Amino acid sequence: MTERQTLSDSHLDVLKEIGNIGLGNAATALATMVNKRIDMAVPQSKFLMLDDLMTLMGGLEEVVCCVSLRLEGDVPGQILFLFNLESTFKLVDMLMGMEQGTIQALDEMGESVVKEIGNVLTGSFLSAISTLTGLNMTPTVPMFATDMLGAVISTSMIAGGYVEDHILMIETVLFEDHEQIKGHFFLITEQGSLQKLFTSLGLSI
């Protein structure tokens, strides 16, 4: 029986709680950074197979912006924070105080903004996971890339050598007025790390 098949409502409730705590931390950090209120929500948290990830993001050839970090410590792995191009442009407009539709391509400043936001969001989620589990999870310096999804995922998997079939996904939506921007946080871990994560929460899979 696979880990995904044995996940219960309790596991999913924990994932939702991790997402909510992480976003609470991130919203505070972003408000301080941009000096304005940005609301955030977690519509869903779940485990995906790799093929499901590709489908969710629009397929192998979908162009995405990715902030990636290696994860060291008790749960070694790779973290990806992905936005499609439309969401990326909206994100930069929102955080730089520009009218929506202003940004049509990313320059160095835009890339820096996205990387910093990915860093803030990722750090907030990791803090939430560490708080709930007591596990040591240390991220490396974030990297930024714009490429087709297939290339981004392949590079991440090859670089890290990760073999876990199940990927933790936390969907993230940022709101400002009537505008909303969707991003996806993915945790790709080594074999056995998910078992360690849930065991630390008193849950088995």
* pLDDT value of residue 90: 87
Do the beta carbons of residue 168 and residue 187 sit within 8 Å?
yes
Mean pLDDT across 25-33: 78
Say if residues 78 and 68 touch (Cβ distance below 8 Å): yes
pLDDT at 4: 43
Is residue 13's pLDDT more than 70? yes
- How confident is the model over 39-56, as pLDDT tens digits? 877 777 777 777 777 777
Inform me whether the pLDDT recorded for 157 exceeds 70.
Answer: no
DSSP string, the chain: --TTTT--HHHHHHHHHHHHHHHHHHHHHHHHHHTS--EEE---EEEEEHHHHHHHTT-TT-EEEEEEEEEEESS-EEEEEEEEHHHHHHHHHHHTTPPTT---S--HHHHHHHHHHHHHHHHHHHHHHHHHH---EEE---EEEEEEHHHHHHHHHHHHT---SEEEEEEEEEEETTEEEEEEEEEEE-TTHHHHHHHTTT---
Q: How would residue 159 be classed by pLDDT, with cut points 50, 70 and 90?
A: low
Mean of the per-residue pLDDT values of the chain = 79
Q: Can you give the residue ranges of every domain in the chain? A: 9-198
pLDDT at 164 over 60: no
| Whole-number pLDDT of residue 2 | 44
Cβ–Cβ < 8 Å for 2, 191: no
Architecture of domain 9-198: 3-Layer(aba) Sandwich (3.40)
User: Of 175, 183, 178, nearest to 27 (Cα)?
Assistant: 175
Q: Give the tens place of pLDDT for each residue, 70-116.
A: 888 888 888 888 888 888 998 888 888 888 888 888 888 888 888 88
Q: Residue 48: how many CA atoms within 13 Å on its side-chain side?
A: 19
Regarding predicted confidence, which is higher, 179 or 140? Answer: 140
Give the per-residue pLDDT at 51: 74
* 202 compared with 144, residue with greater pLDDT: 144
User: For residue 8, what pLDDT band results from cuts at 50, 70 and 90?
Assistant: low
> In angstroms, rounded to a whole number, what is the distance separating the alpha carbons of residues 145 and 140?
16
Predicted local distance difference test score (pLDDT) of residue 163:
55
